[in-house]
Structure 1
């Protein structure tokens, strides 16, 4: 995958083969939970570990990550420290799946990248519509004061 949003450190991120991916998802988002459920049912060439965004455990495991950004858009972390966000995160998830790896390769090319970006923007609009506007911003389980989902720019 060519688009790496940044590196957390350790094994030389961009040059080390990816052997495992951690997908951060919003368990309060209907779209995120549907994608989560779909991903875990697929045959994975690269194991996907699913972790909820914004939790104390996720923050402790990835202290160098911009956790505010993970609440706004899909974020995937490679075991070599690679961080994929927005459309690159969606593409790397497809790349990890046996049935969808060829599609992921098409989405990284000049013709496919705009389609991947458009899909992420459509998902962001859907997430914005499904966000719970009545969620309590003072809820201690919701330290960012965000209801359900937030939009992502991809």
Structure 2
């Protein structure tokens, strides 16, 4: 029997406007599982997860469970939704064969948007651990 997840750490690109917007959105949601939102490849991320390939966390969303589970890309988005009270049923559906194509298309669209709005220099700017976070919207 699996041990339930009690806490998740979301590694997000602090130089990506979409990623920061989604970070603020996650913080406004009622959570069933606590979320720690940490800039990807930052000093804090490297301290918490020294064994992780931190360069890859700048390329795709990565979520780490409190028992060492690592979720990337589509699975990471689904587990983030699963942690939220209002979106848990949607996360369960997105994890099914019927919902998986919708989850994948959403992740691909986000990646295309991110690629168009974030250059390589911006992605590398967080590597020294001094990520500047924009103020929350509104």
Superposition TM-score tier, normalisation by shorter sequence:
0.7 to 0.9
Pairing 1:1-154 to 2, within 5 Å after superposition: 15-132=2-119, 135=122, 142=127
Q: Secondary structure at the match of 1:23?
A: strand
Query: Are residues 83 and 55 of structure 1, via their aligned partners in 2, closer, same or farther at CA, if it must alter by over 3 Å?
Result: same
**Normalised TM-score (structure 2):** 0.86
- Secondary structure class of the residue paired with 1:124: helix
Q: Which whole-Å CA distance do the structure 1 matches of 2:51 and 2:123 have between them?
A: 28
Counterpart of 1:151 in structure 2 is none
Separation in 2, partners of 1:112, 1:136: 31
What's the CA shift for 1:56?
Answer: 1.8
Cα deviation digits, residues 49-108 of structure 1 (max 9, x gap): 100011122112101111121011000000011000000000000000000000000000
The structure 1 segments of at least 4 consecutive aligned residues displaced by more than 6 Å after TM superposition are none
In structure 1, what is the Cα distance between the partners aligned to 2:114 and 2:123?
18
Q: Distance in 1 between matches of 2:13 and 2:41?
A: 8
Higher relative contact order (CA 8 A, sep 6+): 2
CA RMSD in angstroms comes to: 1.9
Alpha-carbon separation, structure 1, partners of 2:40 and 2:119 = 17
CA distance in 2, matches of 1:95, 1:89: 10
Q: Which has the higher helix share?
A: 2
